[in-house]
A and B are shown apart, each in its own frame.
Chain A
Protein backbone atom coordinates (compact mmCIF):
# COMPACT_ATOMS: atom_id res chain seq x y z
CA UNK A 1 0.00 0.00 0.00
CA UNK A 2 1.31 3.42 -0.94
CA UNK A 3 1.51 5.90 1.96
CA UNK A 4 2.64 9.52 2.12
CA UNK A 5 3.60 10.53 5.67
CA UNK A 6 4.06 14.24 6.26
CA UNK A 7 5.92 15.95 9.08
CA UNK A 8 4.17 17.52 12.03
CA UNK A 9 2.60 20.92 12.51
CA UNK A 10 4.86 23.97 12.40
CA UNK A 11 4.63 27.33 14.13
CA UNK A 12 6.79 29.92 12.39
CA UNK A 13 7.47 33.56 13.11
CA UNK A 14 7.06 36.14 10.35
CA UNK A 15 10.18 36.45 8.21
CA UNK A 16 11.50 32.98 9.06
CA UNK A 17 11.50 29.72 7.08
CA UNK A 18 10.10 26.26 7.62
CA UNK A 19 10.92 22.99 5.87
CA UNK A 20 8.24 20.33 5.48
CA UNK A 21 8.83 16.70 4.62
CA UNK A 22 6.82 13.98 2.93
CA UNK A 23 8.08 10.40 3.19
CA UNK A 24 6.67 7.92 0.72
CA UNK A 25 6.43 4.20 1.40
CA UNK A 26 5.33 1.48 -1.00
CA UNK A 27 6.40 3.31 -4.15
CA UNK A 28 9.66 4.62 -5.58
CA UNK A 29 9.38 8.39 -5.97
CA UNK A 30 11.83 8.24 -8.90
CA UNK A 31 8.90 6.91 -10.93
CA UNK A 32 6.50 9.78 -10.30
CA UNK A 33 6.16 13.51 -9.74
CA UNK A 34 5.81 14.93 -6.24
CA UNK A 35 3.51 17.91 -5.88
CA UNK A 36 2.73 20.38 -3.11
CA UNK A 37 -0.70 21.97 -2.65
CA UNK A 38 -1.96 24.36 -0.01
CA UNK A 39 -5.34 25.04 1.52
CA UNK A 40 -5.89 28.24 3.47
CA UNK A 41 -8.47 28.13 6.26
CA UNK A 42 -11.92 27.60 4.78
CA UNK A 43 -10.62 27.87 1.21
CA UNK A 44 -9.95 25.62 -1.76
CA UNK A 45 -6.89 23.81 -3.06
CA UNK A 46 -3.99 25.72 -4.60
CA UNK A 47 -1.16 24.07 -6.52
CA UNK A 48 2.29 25.28 -5.47
CA UNK A 49 4.57 23.24 -7.71
CA UNK A 50 6.07 19.88 -8.51
CA UNK A 51 9.43 18.14 -8.59
CA UNK A 52 10.61 15.23 -10.68
CA UNK A 53 12.71 13.34 -8.11
CA UNK A 54 14.55 11.42 -10.82
CA UNK A 55 16.37 14.53 -12.03
CA UNK A 56 15.46 17.31 -9.60
CA UNK A 57 13.59 19.36 -12.21
CA UNK A 58 10.99 21.68 -10.70
CA UNK A 59 8.01 23.72 -11.89
CA UNK A 60 6.37 26.34 -9.69
CA UNK A 61 3.14 28.27 -9.90
CA UNK A 62 4.05 31.90 -10.58
CA UNK A 63 2.97 33.21 -7.17
CA UNK A 64 5.12 30.66 -5.33
CA UNK A 65 8.36 31.07 -7.28
CA UNK A 66 10.01 33.13 -4.55
CA UNK A 67 8.14 31.47 -1.67
CA UNK A 68 8.64 27.73 -2.06
CA UNK A 69 11.68 25.56 -2.79
CA UNK A 70 11.07 21.91 -3.64
CA UNK A 71 13.68 19.20 -3.22
CA UNK A 72 13.70 15.42 -3.05
CA UNK A 73 15.98 12.74 -1.63
CA UNK A 74 15.58 9.51 -3.57
CA UNK A 75 17.76 7.59 -1.11
CA UNK A 76 15.17 8.14 1.63
CA UNK A 77 12.19 8.36 -0.74
CA UNK A 78 11.29 11.74 0.74
CA UNK A 79 10.18 15.04 -0.76
CA UNK A 80 10.68 18.40 0.91
CA UNK A 81 9.30 21.89 0.63
CA UNK A 82 10.90 24.94 2.20
CA UNK A 83 8.75 28.02 2.68
CA UNK A 84 10.68 31.24 3.13
CA UNK A 85 9.95 34.76 4.38
CA UNK A 86 6.83 33.59 6.17
CA UNK A 87 3.88 35.96 6.38
CA UNK A 88 0.53 35.62 8.10
CA UNK A 89 -1.19 34.67 4.86
CA UNK A 90 1.10 31.63 4.51
CA UNK A 91 -0.93 30.10 7.35
CA UNK A 92 -2.45 27.03 5.72
CA UNK A 93 -2.44 23.27 5.50
CA UNK A 94 0.20 22.08 3.07
CA UNK A 95 -0.33 18.75 1.33
CA UNK A 96 2.18 16.69 -0.58
CA UNK A 97 0.82 14.50 -3.35
CA UNK A 98 2.21 12.08 -5.90
CA UNK A 99 1.10 11.37 -9.44
CA UNK A 100 0.22 13.31 -12.53
CA UNK A 101 -1.73 12.00 -15.55
CA UNK A 102 -3.58 9.51 -13.33
CA UNK A 103 -4.50 11.99 -10.61
CA UNK A 104 -2.91 12.49 -7.22
CA UNK A 105 -2.56 10.44 -4.07
CA UNK A 106 -2.20 12.63 -1.02
CA UNK A 107 -0.42 12.93 2.29
CA UNK A 108 -2.37 13.83 5.41
CA UNK A 109 -1.25 17.47 5.36
CA UNK A 110 0.90 19.68 7.59
CA UNK A 111 -0.55 22.72 9.31
CA UNK A 112 1.74 25.74 9.15
CA UNK A 113 0.79 28.61 11.40
CA UNK A 114 2.58 31.92 11.05
CA UNK A 115 2.40 34.05 14.16
CA UNK A 116 4.70 36.23 16.24
Chain B
Protein backbone atom coordinates (compact mmCIF):
# COMPACT_ATOMS: atom_id res chain seq x y z
CA UNK B 1 0.00 0.00 0.00
CA UNK B 2 1.13 3.57 -0.64
CA UNK B 3 1.71 5.35 2.67
CA UNK B 4 1.08 9.11 2.78
CA UNK B 5 2.87 11.08 5.50
CA UNK B 6 1.59 14.44 6.76
CA UNK B 7 2.61 16.54 9.75
CA UNK B 8 -0.05 16.27 12.48
CA UNK B 9 -0.56 19.99 13.03
CA UNK B 10 0.36 23.44 11.79
CA UNK B 11 -0.11 26.71 13.67
CA UNK B 12 -0.60 29.82 11.55
CA UNK B 13 -1.69 33.45 12.01
CA UNK B 14 -4.68 34.85 10.14
CA UNK B 15 -3.61 36.53 6.92
CA UNK B 16 -0.41 34.52 6.69
CA UNK B 17 0.55 31.68 4.36
CA UNK B 18 0.02 28.04 5.39
CA UNK B 19 1.95 25.27 3.67
CA UNK B 20 0.88 21.68 4.29
CA UNK B 21 3.00 18.86 2.95
CA UNK B 22 2.31 15.27 1.99
CA UNK B 23 4.96 12.72 1.13
CA UNK B 24 4.13 9.41 -0.56
CA UNK B 25 6.09 6.19 -0.02
CA UNK B 26 6.20 5.72 -3.80
CA UNK B 27 5.32 7.75 -6.85
CA UNK B 28 1.61 8.55 -7.34
CA UNK B 29 2.11 9.82 -10.87
CA UNK B 30 0.97 8.13 -14.07
CA UNK B 31 2.29 9.74 -17.25
CA UNK B 32 1.63 13.45 -16.80
CA UNK B 33 -1.07 12.92 -14.16
CA UNK B 34 -0.20 13.35 -10.51
CA UNK B 35 -2.94 11.41 -8.74
CA UNK B 36 -2.84 13.27 -5.43
CA UNK B 37 -5.86 15.12 -4.09
CA UNK B 38 -6.51 17.39 -1.11
CA UNK B 39 -9.57 17.62 1.13
CA UNK B 40 -10.73 19.91 3.92
CA UNK B 41 -12.77 18.49 6.77
CA UNK B 42 -14.45 20.48 9.54
CA UNK B 43 -15.88 18.81 12.66
CA UNK B 44 -19.17 17.07 12.00
CA UNK B 45 -18.91 17.47 8.23
CA UNK B 46 -17.89 15.32 5.32
CA UNK B 47 -14.57 15.99 3.58
CA UNK B 48 -14.65 18.58 0.81
CA UNK B 49 -12.51 18.30 -2.32
CA UNK B 50 -10.16 21.29 -2.63
CA UNK B 51 -7.50 20.27 -5.14
CA UNK B 52 -7.52 17.35 -7.56
CA UNK B 53 -4.60 15.89 -9.48
CA UNK B 54 -2.10 17.86 -7.39
CA UNK B 55 -2.76 21.34 -8.74
CA UNK B 56 -6.30 21.70 -10.07
CA UNK B 57 -8.75 23.81 -8.06
CA UNK B 58 -12.07 22.06 -7.50
CA UNK B 59 -15.29 23.80 -8.40
CA UNK B 60 -16.29 26.58 -6.02
CA UNK B 61 -13.03 26.58 -4.07
CA UNK B 62 -11.46 30.01 -3.44
CA UNK B 63 -8.27 30.88 -5.27
CA UNK B 64 -6.35 31.30 -2.00
CA UNK B 65 -6.04 27.50 -2.08
CA UNK B 66 -3.41 26.05 -4.40
CA UNK B 67 -1.55 22.78 -4.83
CA UNK B 68 1.76 21.71 -6.28
CA UNK B 69 4.09 18.76 -6.52
CA UNK B 70 4.79 15.62 -8.45
CA UNK B 71 6.07 12.11 -7.91
CA UNK B 72 6.20 11.66 -4.15
CA UNK B 73 6.17 15.21 -2.73
CA UNK B 74 3.12 17.43 -2.69
CA UNK B 75 2.08 20.69 -1.07
CA UNK B 76 -1.19 22.42 -0.30
CA UNK B 77 -0.87 26.19 0.18
CA UNK B 78 -3.46 28.50 1.70
CA UNK B 79 -2.65 32.19 1.22
CA UNK B 80 -3.87 34.16 3.00
CA UNK B 81 -5.35 32.03 5.75
CA UNK B 82 -8.84 33.07 6.86
CA UNK B 83 -10.71 32.07 10.01
CA UNK B 84 -12.98 29.77 7.95
CA UNK B 85 -9.95 27.72 6.91
CA UNK B 86 -9.40 26.30 10.40
CA UNK B 87 -9.96 22.59 9.75
CA UNK B 88 -8.15 19.31 9.16
CA UNK B 89 -6.60 18.74 5.74
CA UNK B 90 -6.08 15.32 4.18
CA UNK B 91 -4.12 14.24 1.16
CA UNK B 92 -5.23 11.15 -0.77
CA UNK B 93 -3.80 9.16 -3.65
CA UNK B 94 -5.77 7.38 -6.34
CA UNK B 95 -2.74 6.02 -8.19
CA UNK B 96 -3.54 2.50 -7.01
CA UNK B 97 -5.87 0.57 -4.75
CA UNK B 98 -6.23 0.87 -1.84
CA UNK B 99 -6.72 4.61 -2.32
CA UNK B 100 -4.93 5.68 0.84
CA UNK B 101 -5.22 8.89 2.85
CA UNK B 102 -2.70 10.78 4.89
CA UNK B 103 -3.38 10.98 8.63
CA UNK B 104 -4.42 14.61 8.31
CA UNK B 105 -2.92 17.96 9.25
CA UNK B 106 -4.87 20.05 11.73
CA UNK B 107 -4.57 23.74 10.93
CA UNK B 108 -4.61 25.79 14.12
CA UNK B 109 -4.43 29.48 14.92
CA UNK B 110 -1.20 30.79 16.38
- The interface of chain A, by Cβ under 8 A from chain B, is 35, 37, 44-47, 49-50, 59, 61-62, 95, 99-109
Contact = CB atoms under 8 A, between A and B. Distances in A.
A47 B98 contact: yes
B48 A44 contact: no
B97 A102 contact: no
A45 B90 contact: yes
A101 B35 contact: yes
A59 B97 contact: yes
B91 to A, nearest CB: 10
B56 to A, nearest CB: 8
6 contacts: A47-B101, A103-B49, A104-B47, A104-B49, A105-B49, A106-B47
A43 B33 CA distance: 29
Contacts of B37: 102-104
Interface string B93-104: 010011111111
